[in-house]
Each structure stands twice: as structure tokens, then as C-alpha cells.
Amino acid sequence: MQVLVKGKQVQVGDAVRTYAEDRLTSGVRKYFDDAIEAQIVFSREGYGFETTISVHALARVTPQSHALNDDIHASFDAAAERVEKQLRRYKRRLHNRHHKTDHKAVARLAAQQYTLASETHEDETEEPETLSPVIVADTTTAIEILTVGEAVMHMKLADLTALMFRNSAHGGLNMVGQRRDGSIGWIDPETSSDGS
């Protein structure tokens, strides 16, 4: 697994870098031998240090954690423990599934993912000049076949606000999303018997 260690407004010494890389690599390997990459970002937050960790364990499985402490090592340790806990839960859920699925062999639906420029208008009463949004980035993504529970788990691990997936019960496109009140919403469109 490739580990990238960065510092924002803080100098990351070799001792901290080596400790973080070794600790995170051994912690992730307990649960996923073939994790792809990880990123550790140390930053200043007031008088303390904030550590943000993101691990790309499998396709669309990217747990993230944050921790704040006066000591940079304690901040990292707390964030690393949270990521390991998320990976342990995910691994346990994979083992507890009634039908074992090889995640590398799961059929996926290819899709294009776009990032649109945010529209900022100083005058709220002003109408936009065009209704066509500006695309600032586009990537290819995969819409996976998942149960509703797995989709919610993927969404939370990747720290997303919404996730589209193909429902393993019927193959239709569904979406789960985080609502403002903290609950999870699930959209399951009705499909007619003739496919329209």
C-alpha cells in the first residue's frame, strides 16, 4: 500500500512520517492485504494538531477519520484507531453476509461522474445568465450492485452525502443519502413490468 504523508502549516519530520507510515500500514493490513493507498495529512488547529487519514481499501471503500490533540503522535494514533475500527466493521460485515460476493468480480455499471462549478451570486434576486452549469471535472466511476445496507455502509465509509447503486434485490438503480436531520434517505424508483 502506498502511503502519502503531508503537512499543512506544519513541518512533518522523518520520525513522525516513518511512525505514521509503519503504524497505518500494519493496521490496515490486519483487515485488507491489498489496500490501494492511504493519505495522512497533519495540520495546525489552534494550539494543537489535527490528523486526517483517508484509506482507499477497495473500490468505493474509502474510510476517513479526523482527530485533534495537543500532541501530534496522540492526534495520529486517535485517527488511526478510528480508521482501523471502520475497516474492522466493514470486514466483519463482509464475513457476515449470507451470500459471499467477490468484490473484484461484481458486475458494475459504468457511469460518468461530473463536478459542477458552484454558482455564487452576490445578489440573490439576480437570475443566472445561463441554466447550463460549468463542468470543472469529470471522471469515470462504477455503479456497484449492493444491498441497501451495503450502500449505506459504502456511503459512510467514503464520507459521501449520497450514493447511487444497483439494488441487488432487483437490479434497479437506487440512491441513498444523508438527510439534514441525520437520518438516511433511500430512493427506490418503481419500474413497470414492461421495463418503462
Quick check: 12 and 19 in contact, CB under 8 A?
no
Quick check: 40 and 20 in contact, CB under 8 A?
yes
Give pLDDT tens digits for 136-177.
667 777 788 888 888 888 888 777 888 888 888 888 899 999
Full-prediction pTM beyond 0.75? no
The one-character DSSP state at 75 is H
The one-character DSSP state at 194 is T
What is the greatest pairwise CA distance in the chain? Answer: 64
Residue ranges of the domains in the chain?
2-96, 108-187
Give pLDDT tens digits for 43-78.
998 889 999 998 888 766 788 889 999 999 999 999
Fold of 108-187: SHC Adaptor Protein (3.30.505)
Quick check: 46 and 9 in contact, CB under 8 A?
no
Check: CATH 3.30.160.100 for 2-96? yes
| 132 alpha carbon, distance to own chain's centre | 28
